[in-house]
Chain A
Amino acid sequence: MRSTWPAVTFFAAAALGPIVVRDAFLLDGLILILLWGATAASWNVAGGYAGQVSLGHAAFFGLGAYSAALLGTRWAVSPWIGLLVGAGLATGFGFILGFLSNRLRGPYFVLATIAFSQVLLIVASRWRGFTSGSEGIPVPFRPGFWTLGIADKRAWVYLVLVLAALLYLVQLYLERSRRGYQLAAVREDEDAALSLGVPARRLKVAAIAASAALTAACGTLWAQYVGFVDPYYVFSVDLSVRFCLAAILGGIGTPLGPFLGAALITILETSLRARFGGIGAGLVGIYLIIYGVVLIVTMRFAPQGLLPWIAEHRRRRAPLGTTA
């Protein structure tokens, strides 16, 4: 999976989207695919490339969403500044979590990340004076690029496309650079990596902090696009699961995988919504049942995700000597 043409095709198609399609519903789907893909890619930086599987990444997403929303509503600060503040906060928390990950492996680390996101959920939903508590906060619409008050969905497509492409490049770097090789070694066997001179601990912390900051940036843009921040959504375990599900489904530790996974999930979700109309509990339920079953089935038959699975099968079918 070293070639980049599938990714180039994907991003080119996304860029053509607003030119070909005028339908707001479809454009909305495209924006969400790119946004969720970028968030899953951010998760992938820690979970896929560094092997630090987190089920608490919603915490960083929420930090980004809240930072911009609160700064905007309370002090009329630009969401771009909010994005930087959120990313900064997330980096700080990412370092703390990274420190934890140096002591905790496997399920212990996963549990720590869940606890961490739950603490932020409680703080956000109970600290009424500052965060407005469980009612959440509407993001004010102030027209202009600096205030991210953009009504045109086509403009949003290009905005999140830039973010998505950036995340793709970050992952490509992690696949091909010196740091990427070293990180892969840490993921495979930390002690063996150490014995070869790889500064494993520093790399893990850096990967988690970077992943946290990028996730926060996605959170800011999502909140500005959707226009409302609900603590029970942005800090939920369900949302954390959604990030990793997209990455795992598409191909964990591959640069295009998170986008493929996000596309599949978003298409499933929006098509169900379109068919049944509205979002009743029953509909959400059916969608989530599929979601859970897909995760179980993926783990059983293609635990590396779709892209590596396809690559494997193509390799097997190809005659010997054609895939050197």
Chain B
Amino acid sequence: MSLLSVAGITKRFGGVTANRDVTFDVARGELVGIIGPNGSGKSTLFEIISGFYRPDAGEVRLDGGPLTGLSPDRVCRLGVARTFQKLRPFAGLTVVDNVMVGALTRTRDVRHARSRARELLDRVGLGEKADAHARTLSTGQRKRLELARALATEPRVLLLDEVTGGVDQRSIPGLVQLVRDLHRGGLTLLVIEHNMRVITAVAPRIVALYLGEKIADGTPDAVTRDPRVVDAYLGQAYTR
């Protein structure tokens, strides 16, 4: 039985079709990578799953219950958390307050939320920065902050949009290790990633999108050898 099921999702913006009949299931405890060249509809799909966009057709279900049509905050409370590709920390709040906002979705007790937040910050390696203002963090640290914040909502499925994007080379292994650890801990993850080396190393299964459609779904080896995936990436390389 799958935990998250994406069925026949179609989304159009004016004349552009961002997603066309995208269907796949994610089983409990699975880590699924999503790849595709720029503009292939990865982020749109995340926006739909997390409730920010409403699809024109199709349905998203969590553990059998429908998510489509619910507001983003309801989706989160039902157990789907996300990070943003373009990072969005609460810049004026401290790091620990940022994470507390997530924790307070699950507890009414502010003190309990604070200790939860500190735990999570330690876990993502930001413990020392807890009292700093979020705006003082580097990009890599902000990624960790977003991760901690999303984890604080105790998600059943975590959507990660570009874990290593915009991060300096030295910070990448640490972030990758963090994702691995979360997966080992039993969390279900859906990960968008540009860096092919990272995603093939982390994800046992990859879904490839191109021009809004799913063109491949399988092991990293199978997907990266799939002629349509190769064409999609090569095509993009040529048109650039």
Contacts and interface: CB of A to CB of B under 8 A. Distances in A.
Contact of B73 (A188, A189, A199): A199
Contacts of B92: 184, 187-188
A324 B131 contact: yes
B84 A181 contact: no
A193 B146 CA distance: 12
A200 B100 CA distance: 16
B105 A198 contact: yes
A175 to B, nearest CB: 11
B90 A194 contact: no
Contacts of B88: 189, 191-192
B84 A184 contact: no
8 contacts: A178-B108, A181-B104, A193-B101, A194-B52, A195-B73, A196-B76, A196-B102, A196-B149
Contacts of A198: 73, 101, 105
B113 A194 contact: no
Contacts of B72: 191, 194-195
A192 B104 contact: no
B234 interface: no
A178 B104 contact: yes
B91 A194 contact: no
Interface string A215-249: 00000000000000000000000000000000000
Contacts of B93: 184-185, 188
Interface of A: 176-178, 181-182, 184-185, 187-189, 191-201, 324
Contacts of B76: 194-197
A176 B110 contact: yes
Interface of B: 50-52, 71-73, 76-77, 81-82, 84, 88-93, 97, 100-102, 104-105, 108-110, 113, 131, 149-150, 152-153
Given A184-B97, A188-B91, A195 B110 contact: no
Nearest to A177: B110
A198 B131 CA distance: 22
Given A184-B92, A193-B90, 8 more contacts: A194-B51, A195-B73, A197-B102, A198-B105, A199-B71, A199-B73, A201-B71, A324-B131
A194 B73 CA distance: 5
Contacts of B82: 195
A181 B149 contact: no
B81 to A, nearest CB: 7
B120 to A, nearest CB: 13
A272 B207 CA distance: 72
B62 to A, nearest CB: 14
A192 B84 contact: yes
Contacts of B90: 184-185, 188-189, 192-193
B134 to A, nearest CB: 9
A178 B153 contact: no
A181 B97 CA distance: 7
A177 to B, nearest CB: 7
Nearest to B104: A178
Nearest to A194: B72
A186 B45 CA distance: 24
